[in-house]
């Protein structure tokens, strides 16, 4: 008897994501792995996102509408509760997958005895139309917490986790930008992370990226994270490189503010 393929729950959080939504959705339907469900969490959109998703007549789509605009990671946690799969992954509305994304990830879970699998990804600049890979270096076997603190190379749309991890762990509802960083760094301390040395996602950068438009919030969340974890988690790790990354964000914010002042 042929072994049944595990169900993968794909979570898509959407707030007015109509601009690139079709591209993202089509990359799901183009997958060569078909046993999935899509948890589409409409976070009080007032654009045509609902019309777009409703055009896809497929029973694997589970549509949920939030009457209240929720912080992103609170919305992700709400969506996780709706999942029925053995594995969970995320795809943002402006990103899209390689057609073998799901099958290659499931293959690594089967062959590497991992709890969390993530891949490299392309960074596509919508303005310049140029594409680059997020990490040129190849990694082998497990990825350590220290490696991720030195250089955080995990993309929220390029990761898959065993569902049972979420029985105990959740995103911090207070974060709007670094919630994935916060959770995945902590998970890497307890679970086996495996990296696929191949870009299987395209992450789109554009002027409407939330982190770009809210650089001050981005900096403040990192400062809060350092304060929150100073006496517990990160005391066991070297964080000089992380602090330097935050310093560069602060510098970028300062230059941005000076530019606007001159205008």
Burial of 240 (0-12, 13-18, 19+ CB in 10 A): exposed
For residues 93 and 21, is the Cβ–Cβ distance under 8 A? yes
pLDDT at 259: 62
- Split at pLDDT 50, 70, 90, the class of 261 is very low
Residues 6+ apart with CB under 8 A from 239: 149, 226
For the segment 141-200, what is each residue's pLDDT rounded down to a tens digit?
689 999 999 999 999 999 999 999 999 999 999 999 999 999 999 999 999 999 999 999
Q: 3-class SS at 21?
A: helix
- State which CATH number among 3.40.1160.10, 3.40.50.300, 3.90.550.10, 3.40.710.10 fits the domain covering 8-208: 3.90.550.10
For the segment 103-149, what is each residue's pLDDT rounded down to a tens digit?
999 999 987 789 999 999 999 999 999 999 999 989 876 899 999 99
For the segment 36-92, what is each residue's pLDDT rounded down to a tens digit?
999 999 999 999 999 999 999 999 999 999 999 999 999 999 999 999 999 999 999
More confident residue, 87 or 212: 87
Q: What is the mean pLDDT of residues 10-28?
A: 97
What are the angstrom distances between the C-alpha of 70 and each of 45, 54, 75, 200, 231? 11, 22, 6, 29, 30
**Whole-number Å distance between alpha carbons of 213 and 244:** 21
Max CA separation in the chain (angstroms): 71
What is the rounded average pLDDT for all residues in the chain? 93
More confident residue, 91 or 235: 91
For the segment 184-206, what is each residue's pLDDT rounded down to a tens digit?
999 999 999 999 999 999 999 98
| Residue closest to 188 by CA, chosen among 165, 172, 167, 211 | 165
| Residue closest to 172 by CA, chosen among 247, 229, 114 | 229
pLDDT at 257: 77
């Amino acid at each position: 008897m042929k072994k049944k393929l595990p169900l993968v729950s794909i979570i898509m959080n959407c707030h007015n994501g109509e601009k690139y939504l079709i591209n993202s959705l089509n990359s799901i339907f183009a997958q060569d792995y078909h046993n999935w469900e899509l948890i589409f969490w409409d976070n009080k959109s007032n654009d045509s996102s609902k019309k777009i998703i409703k055009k896809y007549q497929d029973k694997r789509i589970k549509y949920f509408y939030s009457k209240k605009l929720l912080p992103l990671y609170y919305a992700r946690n709400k969506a996780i509760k709706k999942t029925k799969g053995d594995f969970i992954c995320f795809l943002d509305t402006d990103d899209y997958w390689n057609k073998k994304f799901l099958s290659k990830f499931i293959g690594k879970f089967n062959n590497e005895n991992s709890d969390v699998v993530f891949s490299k990804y392309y960074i596509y600049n919508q303005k310049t139309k140029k594409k680059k890979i997020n990490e040129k270096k190849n990694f082998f076997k497990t990825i350590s917490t220290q490696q991720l603190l030195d250089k955080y190379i995990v993309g929220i749309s390029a990761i898959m986790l065993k569902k049972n991890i979420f029985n105990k762990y959740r995103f911090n509802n207070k974060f709007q930008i670094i919630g994935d960083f916060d959770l995945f760094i902590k998970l890497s301390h307890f679970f086996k992370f495996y990296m696929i040395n191949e870009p299987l996602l395209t992450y789109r950068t554009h002027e409407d990226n939330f982190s770009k438009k809210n650089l001050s919030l981005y900096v403040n969340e990192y400062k809060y994270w350092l304060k929150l974890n100073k006496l517990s988690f990160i005391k066991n790790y070297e964080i000089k490189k992380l602090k330097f990354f935050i310093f560069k964000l602060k510098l970028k914010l300062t230059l941005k503010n000076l530019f606007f002042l001159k205008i």
